[in-house]
């Protein structure tokens, strides 16, 4: 099996530790038609501010067009073509209006033993990014490099290693020009209940600081999942997510600083409806 793309390394752990945790209020409504058109209206309340977004997605065979408009008057258009000229090759063109320098062309290629992603900005002095993963589903190594043609400098060069078995995934990242080392693991304890545990240890060489976060998840029933996480700074979070109809979820999450209980606990609510 293909090793995937660079962004797939450690994704299981990141999803366990960070996905769906939210301390704001969010509502999303998606309507789908049998002709491949999906329209999503979403709103998020952060403190006293409200942010809105309207997302339209059109699929036709190997072509997909995404158009997103938000309350800040930005219009993001993304055009994706699967199997672009050869099996396993995908092309993605994105542009944000009114920012005329935001255009980007991206190519993704998945092979049995490699996954490559290349992108270039569509402006006179573009940012060029190249990432690749080589190996197999069980063992893979990857690199991620960005080059700024305006300054002729490498703005990013990262590396990663991944080990995968049916129940355990371990990964190691070297980020921020070699300054940050991130080690993570994901362990599926029970298949039938979806019980899993995971941890991530991040160490900054320049600041000599380390952050450790540990989390777990468990399915109470086929439609209800609970998650919890805790880090070495005393921040604890938990959430309950229930699928009350197919692809429609309600999520309640909370966060508390265990070293300062007198502070108000942060609570978030997310409601996603799809029909």
State how far the Cα of 272 lies from the Cα of 22, in Å rounded to an integer: 13
Q: Does residue 124 belong to any structural domain of this protein?
A: yes
Would you give the DSSP letter of residue 9? T
Q: Does residue 228 belong to any structural domain of this protein?
A: yes
- Closest to 239 in 3D by CA, of 18, 37, 1, 5: 18
- Closest to 86 in 3D by CA, of 62, 66, 65, 119: 62
Q: Does residue 164 belong to any structural domain of this protein?
A: yes
Give the range of the structural domain holding residue 212, as residue numbers without chain letter: 6-274
Cα dihedral 44, 47, 50, 56 in deg (nearest 10): -20
Can you give the pLDDT at residue 183?
Answer: 97
Q: Does residue 13 belong to any structural domain of this protein?
A: yes
State how far the Cα of 99 lies from the Cα of 45, in Å rounded to an integer: 25
State how far the Cα of 57 lies from the Cα of 82, in Å rounded to an integer: 15
Q: Does residue 103 belong to any structural domain of this protein?
A: yes
Q: Does residue 118 belong to any structural domain of this protein?
A: yes
- List the CATH number of the domain containing 131: 2.40.160.10
State how far the Cα of 244 lies from the Cα of 221, in Å rounded to an integer: 12
Q: Does residue 1 belong to any structural domain of this protein?
A: no
What tokens were used for 169? 């995934």
Residues 6+ apart with CB under 8 A from 121: 101, 102, 103, 104, 127, 128
Q: Does residue 10 belong to any structural domain of this protein?
A: yes
- pLDDT tens over the chain, length 275 residues: 578 899 999 999 999 999 999 888 999 999 988 888 999 999 988 877 888 899 999 998 889 999 999 887 788 999 999 987 788 899 999 988 777 778 899 999 998 899 999 999 988 889 999 999 999 989 999 999 999 999 999 999 999 999 999 899 999 999 999 899 999 999 999 888 889 999 999 999 999 999 999 999 999 999 999 999 999 999 999 999 999 888 899 999 999 998 887 777 889 999 999 87
At 92, phi and psi to the nearest 5?
A: -135, 125
Residues 6+ apart with CB under 8 A from 47: none
Can you give the pLDDT at residue 153?
Answer: 92
Number of domains in the chain: 1
Q: Please give the sequence-ordered ranges of beta strands (E in DSSP) within the chain, or none if there are none.
A: 25-32, 37-46, 49-60, 63-70, 75-81, 89-97, 104-111, 114-121, 127-135, 139-148, 153-164, 168-175, 180-190, 195-204, 209-221, 224-231, 235-245, 248-257, 266-274
């Amino acid at each position: 099996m293909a090793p995937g793309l660079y962004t797939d390394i450690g994704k299981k752990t990141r999803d366990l530790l960070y996905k769906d945790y939210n301390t704001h209020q969010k509502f999303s409504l998606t309507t789908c038609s049998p002709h491949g058109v999906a329209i999503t209206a979403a709103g998020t309340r952060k403190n006293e501010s409200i942010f809105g977004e309207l997302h339209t997605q059109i699929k036709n065979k190997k072509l997909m067009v995404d158009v997103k408009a938000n309350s800040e008057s930005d219009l993001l258009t993304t055009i994706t073509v699967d199997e672009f000229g050869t099996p396993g090759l995908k092309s993605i063109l994105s542009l944000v209006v009114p920012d005329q320098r935001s255009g980007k062309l991206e190519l993704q290629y998945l092979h049995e033993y490699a996954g490559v992603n290349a992108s270039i900005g569509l402006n006179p002095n573009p940012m060029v990014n190249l990432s690749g993963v080589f190996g197999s589903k069980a063992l893979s190594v990857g690199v991620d490099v960005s080059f700024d043609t305006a300054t002729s400098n490498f703005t990013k060069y990262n590396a990663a290693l991944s080990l995968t078995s049916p129940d355990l995934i371990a990964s190691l990242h070297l980020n921020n020009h070699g300054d940050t080392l991130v080690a993570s693991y994901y362990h599926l304890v029970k298949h039938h209940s979806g019980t899993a545990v995971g941890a991530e240890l991040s160490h900054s060489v320049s600041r000599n600081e380390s952050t450790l976060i540990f989390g777990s998840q468990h399915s109470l029933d086929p439609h209800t999942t609970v998650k919890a996480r805790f880090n070495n700074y005393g921040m604890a979070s938990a959430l309950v997510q229930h699928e009350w109809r197919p692809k429609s979820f309600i999520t309640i999450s909370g966060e508390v600083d265990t070293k300062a209980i007198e502070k108000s606990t942060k609570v978030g609510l997310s409601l996603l409806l799809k029909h």
